Chains A and B, each alone.
Chain A
Amino acid sequence: MLQEILISGFGGQGVLSMGKILAYSGIMEDKEVSWMPAYGPEQRGGTANVTVIISDQPISSPIVSQFDVAIVLNQPSLDKFEDKVKPGGILIYDGYGIHQPPTRKDIDVYKIDAMDESMKMSNTKVFNMIVLGGLLKVSPMVKLENVMKGLKKSLPERYHNTLPLNEQAILRGMEIIQLERKAE
């Protein structure tokens, strides 16, 4: 198993921490993982992205040119990364920030209205966990119980009271993700 995942959005959307939780979840399943962020000034408001790799084998390059899954959470991210999804791969986008939806026909395109949903849950901080739930639904690369273990490990103890809320958000994400177009 080798999954090369890109997560990209605005700085502050929880892109990097979502990647970290995914990587921790991989460790909980005894997998090899790498987490490579774009560490530029993007962290402070522009676009932020992270490459997470989960594998049964030692990971060679933490930098890859094409991805099995791309999660894009704003228009600049979609514009930049739509072409970088491997043919037959998966693209997940949040409807909120995207005005020009993806056009590729050779990949599975999923839409998740995570921003709207997080507002309904009155907590925009769980936005990234809703997206993570959507990812796990369409590409179950790690088990939910291990995600929860990973979440516990990556969250400082003072936030452990938010674990149930996070789990709820992940489950909600699994429900609301929609297949928009199957690869032809």
Chain B
Amino acid sequence: MLTCTSNGKRKAVAAVLEHASGDKRFKILETHMKRHQHKADALIEVLHKAQELFGFLDDGLMLFVAHHLKLPPSRVYGVATFYHFFTLKPKGAHTCVVCLGTACYVKGADRVLRAIETRAGIKAGETTPDKQFSLVTARCIGACGIAPAVVYDGTVTPRQTPEGALERVKGWCSHGP
């Protein structure tokens, strides 16, 4: 069982479990955990799956995972916040990842990023208020041969310029200046 004894936490877990019973995605996540035999060392794999299903990790979801893997919630929260890949906030409908690896950087990825930031009116790591567009930076996506690279909704696009990038994200950020 969950290693928390206070009444409040127990209530929170009960609420999460009840909420989960009506959602198909929790069922899929449970199956995934079963495949890993509910082992604690599968935590990162499970969180990957959870983020894939839900888009981000909210408190209830982390409590759910903690409960099923028999881990303290602090451990799940600690892992989820340690790794950059996990996000605790919802992402926008469209995502643009600007690679800031060394090769991309010396070839002007910072200029591409600045152009998009200005156009969308948000900083890297933020989402527009209308939840349409998230701007993210990456440390290196390993596409250095075609630098600077930008990933638009999962599609790696080679040799970007500030103008080309603005053209791509034009439709996604309607509320920019």
Co-complex (A, B): no
A residues contacting B by CB (< 8 A) are none
B residues contacting A by CB (< 8 A) are none
